[in-house]
Each structure stands twice: as structure tokens, then as C-alpha cells.
Chains A and B, each alone.
Chain A
Amino acid sequence: MQGSHGSAYGLKYQARSIAAQVADTENTRWLVGTLSLREDNEVHLIQLADNSADILCEGLYTHQNEIWDLAACPFDSQFFSTVYASGGDFGAAIWRIPERGQGGNRVIPLQNVVNLQGHTHKIKCTLWWPSGKHNQLVSIDAENLYLWDIETSLKTAQVHGFASAGELSHMASGCWDPHDVNHVATATDVSVQCWDLRSMNQTNKIEQAHMLQVRHLDFNPKKQHIMITAGDDSRIRIWDLKMPNIPLQELPGHQHWAYRVQYNPKYEELVLSSGTDSRVNLWHVALALSGDAKPRSPFGSPKGPSDSLLRAYTEQEDSVYGLAWSTRDPWVFASVSYDGRVMVDSVPQSVRKQLTSRR
């Protein structure tokens, strides 16, 4: 690959989760949580320096249990939620980032705001209200989905609604529809389920989104009903929820499991995915979605996988489980691999030019 290498930041422990600090529009910041079974875990608040490619540690907080997932509050940069487990225990909690003390870089324990209690299975992820200030939050475990009313000032969390995907199902992750705040989609086994949060019933389903477990999914930030999924069968597929039988498009994905997939928040043509083949792939997704819904002609891909793959970032050396676009700079993203390395990379200049000139 030509040109600039990304910047790296090493964590002490293994890690799975990273999230952009959405509420902070001043800085390019991410929260990273570590995954260490036997030691106290940490949450790093890292920042990409404005004028250089350096990554600075802006805050280091202790979090006792290992962090399986982490989500930043969209309206207040002080809050974020984690999904944790240690040994047989598991849980999800909302935390407040403490004020920086006089000791500068000292490690500070996080302030627990509220624990989401009531889950009977290992929790997979928490979803904040998609945009703006709202007191609702969704948490997903392997079989169930909870809707919570959160009062951060009172430190209370009450179950607002509850839905079950059924016994022995495996929900891996979920996504809140940014176009319709009553909808949440979950990756349940090989299918994608859509839930209506008012009735807490399933409204739509992609029966067989992938051959194996669906790992992750994301809604198109600009177009309603369009979503992208990643699965253990290494494929990445784009769906129109109005036509759940056939994917609109399929990307070759990864050489092993495709673990994370995310639309660029500003340029919907850009899709980022990461996989257990230690790669982070940047895709260009054609905008011509519905209309010519003909599912791949036999000779549709004579040019091969390089067709839509803009760039493969190969700096990571272990499975990449965490991936997050920056919310401030649409050309920058961070990925975290299992061996605890955070890489901050950027979209190639040529692609930026192409996309900005098209607007």
C-alpha cells in the first residue's frame, strides 16, 4: 500500500472494543476498553493530535471487569456504557468519566452511574438513542432485548420494554435505525431481526442473511431501509429491508469471519469492515441500489474483488474486533485488534478527492 501508514497506540492488554466519542465535536477521540481476564481492565480515552499523526492518551480509567463492548453517549461526552464480564459474572453499566484530578495522568477509577440489571445471559452490546438527547437505551444479550429508561442524574435505570428472540438463539449485536427511532435491528444467528420498540415485537426479518452467524450490522446513515451486514461466512452484504429475500449487493468481505462493518457517517459510499483475517477493508459501495435489483449476473465480476475494495489495511496482526469512524473527521477511523493495538488510519487522498468532487 502506498503512502501514509496509520498511527499506532499500544494497550497493555488485549482488547475488543472501541467507540468514537460522539458527543465531543471538538476533538477526534475514541474510547477503547481492554479485555483482560485476570487483571484490572482499563478504558483509554485517546485523541488524534490535530497537527500530527500522534495519538495521545487523554485519559486512563480503571474498569475492573473485562470490557466486551463499549458505547459512547451521543449527547454527553462524560457518559459511556460498557458491557462487561469476568468469570461467570456479566453485566452492563453506564459510567461517568471523572473530572481530571490534579495529578494529571493518574489512573482514575470510573464513576459508576447505573448498572443495567436483569439480564439472564451474557450481554452483547448496548445501544444509545441514535441521535440527540434522550433517556432511552437498548441492551442486547444472546436471547433478549431490553429497552431502558435511564435517568443519569438520579442514577436509575428502569426496564421500559422487553423482547425475546427465543430460546437458544444467539444475538451477536444490534443497531438502532437512525431514520426511525422506533426500530432496532439485531443480528440473530444467521438472520437479521427488526424490532418495533413501541410494541416490542418483531416487525421484519431477513431469514438467511448469511450462511453462518451474523456478526454485525449497520444502517445506511442517509437512506432508510438500507443496511449492511457482516457474518462468519466472511461475506458482507447490503440489504434493502423492503426486499429481505435477496441482498442488493455482496462484497467479497474477508478471508475469515467478517466481524465488524460500518458506514461512514458522512459518505454513505464508504464502508469499513474488519475481520479475523487481521485486515481492515475500505469499500466503495455503488449508490445505485434499488431499481436494478437483479442479483449478480454470472459474469458480473470479471474484474474480481478489487472492484469495490478501495484499500485493505494490513497493519494489524491479530483479529480486528473493534472498528470506529471518527465522528469529527469523516476521513479518519480507528481499529483495535485482539492483541491490544489501536491503529488510526485515514481514507486515501485519491478517494477523498473523488468523493468530494462528486458532491
Chain B
Amino acid sequence: MAMGQQDEKTKRMRELLSSFYGTGSPESDTPTGYGRRDTLQGINLPNFDVDHYMESLLHNTPLDRLLQRHVEVAAEIKNLDSDMQMLVYENYNKFISATDTIRRMKENVAGMESNMEHLLDTVTMVRAKSDGINASLCERRERIEQLNGTRSLLRKIQFIFDLPQRLRKCMNAEDYSTAVKYYKGALPILQAYGQSSFRSCKEEVDELISTLTDKLQAQVMDQAVQLSSRAQAVTLLQQLNHSVDSMVERFMTEHWDYLLGNFVAFGAGKPETNEPLTVGFYPQQGLKALDTTSDVQKRLVEKDLIQDFIETAGTFRTLFPSYEMRLIGAATKLFDESFYLKHFVGAGVLISDITQMDKLVPEASLPERASKALEDAVRQHVATKFSHLSDQIKAAIVEEPSSIPGATADVSRPLKASLDRAQATIIQGSLDVLQDLKLLLDNSKEYLLRWRDEYIDLVQGGFQDLFTNLVDHFLSLCLKSGFNSASASPDKLPEATPSLVLLLALLSVYIYQTAVPQITEVVGTCFVGGGVMGYEARPAFVPSEICRFFHSTAERLLQQYVDVQAQKLSVLVRKSVETPNWLKYKEPRDVRMFADLLLQEVEILEGEVQQLLDPGSTRTHRHTDSSGSIGSSRSASTREDGYSGTSHRSNMSHRARNQLLERDVAKLFTERVEIFTKLEFNQASVVSTVVKMTLKSFQECVRLQTFNRSGYQQIQLDMHYLRDPLHNLLDNETVVDFLLDEVCLAAAERCLDAVPLEMAILDKLVQAKLAKKESSKSTSHK
């Protein structure tokens, strides 16, 4: 309790003091103290309402409490009084001590002023003295500095005058680096005053330096000198601002050209000395010789060359470290040039050497170049092979049979011989190429391994191209003959004779029947794999497509052969029909010339065809019974309709009508011969097609003419003459008879007065003609 009162008392004291000193206690501002309860606590606040307090106290407090309160307040007042007395006393003490301190301070400060003034005087005096000393010394110092400068200048001049001597001494001692150092030191002065004061000196120095340069250059070039000193010489030269470019060039020309020359000579010398390099032309020997001693020798020589290269490159690098680019350029150039000359056979060796070279000249990326060059070489090799083969085949086709030695065995059948030869060329050539390329693949496993599939594709693509090319070639050869002036191709292809067309046709058959399957088989066994381009892409070699090309080509060529032959004969026939004036024709006495010509042509044709084609079946054309043919039965009915429609017309003579009827009836009951049958690859088909076309043309030509009686008889006679020989030639009587009859009938229809000759007379005339032919033949033989 006493403690609590004590606390409250001190608190109030502090508040009072603070209100006395400051503006007010922090608590006094808060209205909470006042508003909380009307207690005595708010008594210190400025707005303490005494009346209100008193009133509320009187109102609210019972008497006993009021009395108690009175006692409390009285005690409090007493306390406060004593406290105040205490405070006043304390403050008074403090005031007295402060007054004492102030009095003492006043006494101490009094002597200060004079002391300070004295100090200032002393300092001023010291400063004036120091200035005096400085001034007296300055003049002397300047003098000393001037003297110093003069002295160093004199020393420099001395150095320059001594420079020639020093340089000479250094050069005698071969201490080139010191000489260069001296020279470098003197260089600015020499450059500045070289033209005036030190002219003679400079000239001397220049002279010396040029000799020095020469010496250094000689040292660089001297291969006997140690590499380090040579390198140092190069550095010195560079310090002397001497252009090293020319040196590099010289070095290059001397060493590199020598090296290059070696390489070139090596490459060029190859074909003469070593067989392997002629692989392109003699594949078998070339590849067999791969392991022979000569090849080993060649490799050794090659090794030497590589060694040379490495040494030279090393030297260059040491000498001219800053000319790296130049080296790379030179190396690349050397590499390219020499490598193109080099054949791929030795390339395997190179690959390993190149890794060494690569260490020296890493930037030149030689391995990539090498493998690229190798790839190029192989590609080129394959391409050469195929183009060579293609040329061979093409040459074999157009070659004159007589120019072939050994083809004499079958002179009577030159076409057959040509065909055999061409066939042999194709299959043998292709197999040789395959063999060769196979060997290459086997021998060069290591470095081809990486793109083996590509290589296989390459070979297969080669065959594809070869055959597509051949088809094109065949067709272009023949189209030329078929289109003559119309063809715009300016190249000088040899004119394709009909026999060549036939030859090509058969060659095409051979290719798709024999050659392509055989080659496919070999390719299948040797060149497995391939297809780098993925499965969705077409394979490089598509035998079925090739076969299809050749199949259609063969048919087209055969058709063309037949067309050309038939056209030739048709021209003959047409002339024979169009030339005479049939209306004024004299009585026939002899068979006309053209018949013999015609037979002759057919015989030649047969001669050609016999050489190349199988005889084939003798009856190649179909006979259709007209009663079974829809067309002709229809024709009968329509014809009758036509007649019935016009039958009332009367001015038609019975004879004409009978003739037409006879003709129609005859047509109905004779066998209907198909003139136009499908062409087949055999003698009978080809010859009979040509003859049929010719006779049909004959008929058409006859229909365009008008004959008198003798003209008709002449045609009759000609046909009669042709009948027997054509029978013999064609082995097929029906079709010949039919067509010859058609010609006669056409002539009869176009004849004003168709009276046929009797058979006896015809026979007689034909016999006479044959006899005459026989006698002329025998006389000509004599």
C-alpha cells in the first residue's frame, strides 16, 4: 500500500515538473483522463473544472467518504508542501555550484589572447624565411636540369654515331637480335633527322641494315641452319618491318611447287608405269593388279610424297606462324590438284595419311575433302563405266558387219551376225561392268562402308539409266527414219535403214526377254541392299519398267519396219497402176516389169526376216466363216432392204444387177479373210503382213482407175504371174488368192468392157515370161 502510494506520488511529481518545464505532459492532452471519471486525477489538467468536480463530489459521495477524502487531501497537501520545499532546495544548490563554475572560467580565459597573437607572429616569420630560401635555390635547380638534358642528348648523339660500329660488331658476332634491337632504338631519330644532320650516319646504317636483312633472308632460306634460328630470323625480319609476304611466296614457289610437281608427276606417271590406273579401260587386269608389287611400290612412293608434304608444312608453320591462312590455302590447292589426278585405288592409303596431314593443317579439313574426293572418284568411275558400256552397245548396233573381224563365219547372214554381236555386247558388257563394280565393292570395304547403300543405288541407277537411254536411242534412231525432214533434231544420227529398225526391234525383244532378267539376277545377288532413299521412294533399278519399255518399243519398231516395207512396195505398186493410160491400153503381151520388181523386193524382205525371226506358224491369219460373222449377215439383210426399197426402179440392166448380186452372193459364201491381223514376231507374220498391205494398196489404186478391156487383162495377167511366186513365198495360199482375186475384181469393176483372158492364154504368157527370165538370168550369169 505504501509502495503504491509512493509510486503515485512520484508519478504526479514528474507530471508537475514536466508541466512546468514543457508544454504539458503527454497524458494531459488526452481527454480520456478527464472524461473517464471525475476523479482527482484530472486535477493537473488545464481544463480541470474545479466547480464541477466539487459539485459532483458533494453530490455523489456520502459524508463519511467525504470526511475520509478530506483527510486524504489534507495529507496530500502536506506531502506536496514538503516535496516542494525539497525541490527548491535542490535547485538552489545547483544554482550556487553553477555560479561558482562561471566565476572560475572568467578567471582562466583572461591570458589567452596575448598567447595567440604571439603564435601568429611566429608562424608568419617562419613562412617568410622559407620563401627566401626557395627563391635563392630555384635558379640553381633550373641550371642543373638544363645541364642534365644536354647530357642525355649528347649521349644519344653519341649512340647514333656509334650505331654503325655497334651494328657491325653485332653482325660480326652474328648477334642479329641485338643489332635489330639497337636499330629499332635508333630508328625514330634516324627517321626524324635522317635527312639533315645524320645523313651520312643514316646512310651507313641503312646499308648495314640491308645487308643484315639479306643475311637474315639467306638464313631463313638456308635449310642447313637450325629451324629455331630460322624462325628467329623470320621474327627479326618482321621486326625490321621487312615484308615477309615475298618470303612466303618464295618459300611457296620453291617448296610447294616442287611438292606439287612431285604429286603431279606421280599422278601423271601412273598410267604408264602402273596398270591399276587403267582400270577404267581394262577392268579385270586393273583390279587383279591391285595387290601386285608394282602397286606396293606405288604406295611407297605415295608415302614418301605424303612425308614430304608433312615436312614442308611443318617447316612452314614454324617459319611463318602468322601465315596460317596461306598454308591452308596452299594445302587445299595441292590436295585438290593432286587428288584429282590420283586414282581412287590408292585412296585407301591416303585416308590414313591424311589424318597426319590433318594434324598439321587442321583448318583445311582434309579428311572430309578426301572422302568427298574419293566419293567423286567412285561416282565418276561408275558413270564412266556405264557411259562406256552404252557407247559400246550403240557402236555395236550401227557397226558395219564387214568391219568386224571374225564375223566372216556367216557372211550370208550379216544381220544375224549383227544381232548376235549386239546381244553379246549387251549382256557381256553389262556383266563385265557388274563384275568390275562388284570387285571394287569387295576390295574397298573400309572406306566404302559408310555409303555402301548409296553405292549400290548408284550402280542400280546406272543400269536404269543405261536401259532408259537405250530405249531412247533406239526410238530416236528409228523416228529419224520415220520422220525425215519433219524431225527437228539436228544431231547427225546415222540414217536408220529398215533392216536396222528390224534389228533394233529384235534387240529390244532380246533385252526384255533375256538380258534384263539375267542382269537383275546378278544385281540381286551382288548388290544387296541399297534403297537409301527410303521405301516410299522408287528403287533405283526397276526391271519390270525397263521390260515394259522395251516390250512396247519392240512392237513399235516391228510395226514401223512393216510399215516402211509396205510403204516401199506400195509406192512401187502405185506407180505401176497410175502411170499407164489404161483407157488406151494395148493388148497385153507380157507381164509388166513391176511384178518382177515386187517379187524381188519381197524376196529381199524375206531374206532379211529369215535371218532374224523364227519361221512361225504357217497359218497366222484367222479365217472367219462369213455365216458366223455378225457384220456380214447384217450386211446381207440391209442389202436386201436397200434393193426392196428401190426395186421399182426399172432402168437398171439385168446384167449389171446380176453382176452385183453375183458379187454379193460370192462374198457371202467365200471365206472371209481377215486382212489386218495382229503383227507377231515371226517370219510368216511379218512377210504376209507386208504382202497383204501391198496387195490391198494395189486394189485401192486400181479402184481409182478406169480400164479398157486390154488394161483389165493386163492386170489379170500380172496377178496371175504373181500368184505362184507369192504362194511359194508365203506358204499361205488362201490369203494371197483372196487378195489377188480382189485386185482382179476391182479391175473388172472399173473396166468398161470386162472380158477376162482365158486361163490357157494367161498360162502361156506367164510361161513365156518365165522362160525369158530364165534365159536372161543364164546370160547374165555367163
Contact = CB atoms under 8 A, between A and B. Distances in A.
Contact of B752 (A10, A37, A60, A255): A37
Interface string B623-636: 00000000110110
A302 B656 CA distance: 50
Contacts of B578: 170
B310 to A, nearest CB: 55
Contacts of B129: none
B549 A299 contact: yes
A302 B641 contact: no
A317 B672 CA distance: 11
Nearest to B638: A8
B697 interface: yes
A213 B634 CA distance: 34
Given A37-B750, A276-B700, A319-B700, A207 B570 contact: no
Interface in B436-455: none
A315 B486 contact: no
Given A12-B652, A40-B651, A233-B567, A87 B642 contact: no
B631 A317 contact: yes
A86 B651 CA distance: 18
B752 A38 contact: yes
Contact of B486 (A9, A36, A247): A247
Interface string B256-286: 0000000000000000000000000000000
Interface in A302-328: 302, 314-315, 317, 319
B150 interface: no
Interface in A290-309: 295, 298-299, 301-302
A257 interface: yes
B594 interface: no
A193 B176 CA distance: 98
B652 A276 contact: no
Contacts of A341: 635, 638-639, 642
A217 to B, nearest CB: 16
Interface in B632-673: 632, 634-635, 638-639, 641-643, 645-646, 648-649, 651-653, 656, 660, 664, 667
Given A10-B641, A247-B486, A341-B635, A87 B706 contact: yes
A12 to B, nearest CB: 6
Given A277-B676, A341-B635, A12 B646 contact: yes
Contacts of B648: 105
Contact of A85 (B641, B697, B700, B706): B706
Interface in B749-771: 749-752
B287 interface: no
Contacts of A107: 649, 651
Contacts of B421: none
B744 to A, nearest CB: 16
Name the residue among B472, B482, B570 with the largest chain A CB count within 10 angstroms: B570
Given A10-B645, A11-B642, A338-B703, A232 B488 contact: no
A332 interface: no
Contacts of B664: 339
Contacts of B706: 37, 85, 87-88
Interface of A is mostly: loop
B635 A317 contact: yes
A37 B749 contact: yes
Given A233-B563, A256-B676, A208 B485 contact: yes
B488 A246 contact: yes
Contacts of A88: 583, 706
A14 interface: yes
A39 B570 contact: no
Contacts of A257: 697, 700
A342 to B, nearest CB: 9
Interface in A46-92: 57, 60, 85, 87-88
A211 interface: yes
A110 interface: no
A8 B749 CA distance: 23
B571 A276 contact: no
A96 B207 CA distance: 125
A39 B752 contact: no
B184 to A, nearest CB: 78
Contacts of A105: 648
Nearest to A315: B631
B475 interface: yes
A87 B697 contact: no
Contacts of B482: 211
Contacts of B488: 245-246, 295
A262 B471 CA distance: 35
B316 to A, nearest CB: 58
Contacts of A302: 548, 552
A163 interface: no
Contacts of B645: 10, 57
A251 interface: no
A335 to B, nearest CB: 14
B652 A39 contact: yes
A245 B552 CA distance: 26
A236 B553 CA distance: 21
Contact of A256 (B549, B552, B693): B693
B634 to A, nearest CB: 7
Interface string A146-172: 000000000000000000000000100
Contact of A10 (B553, B639, B700): B639
B567 A315 contact: no
Contacts of B632: 317
Interface in B727-782: 749-752
Interface in B466-501: 471-472, 475-476, 482, 484-488
B166 interface: no
Name the residue among B667, B675, B706 with the largest chain A CB count within 10 angstroms: B706
Nearest to A317: B635
A245 B486 contact: yes
A202 B363 CA distance: 74
Contacts of B631: 314-315, 317
A60 B571 CA distance: 39
A352 B653 CA distance: 45
Interface in B143-186: none
15 contacts: A5-B634, A12-B642, A12-B652, A13-B660, A38-B752, A57-B645, A208-B485, A211-B567, A212-B574, A213-B574, A245-B485, A245-B488, A256-B696, A298-B476, A301-B552
Interface of B: 471-472, 475-476, 482, 484-488, 548-549, 552-553, 563, 567, 570-571, 574, 578, 583, 631-632, 634-635, 638-639, 641-643, 645-646, 648-649, 651-653, 656, 660, 664, 667, 675-676, 693, 696-697, 700, 703, 706, 749-752
Given A39-B652, A85-B706, A105-B648, 7 more contacts: A8-B641, A8-B642, A10-B642, A12-B646, A299-B471, A299-B552, A317-B632
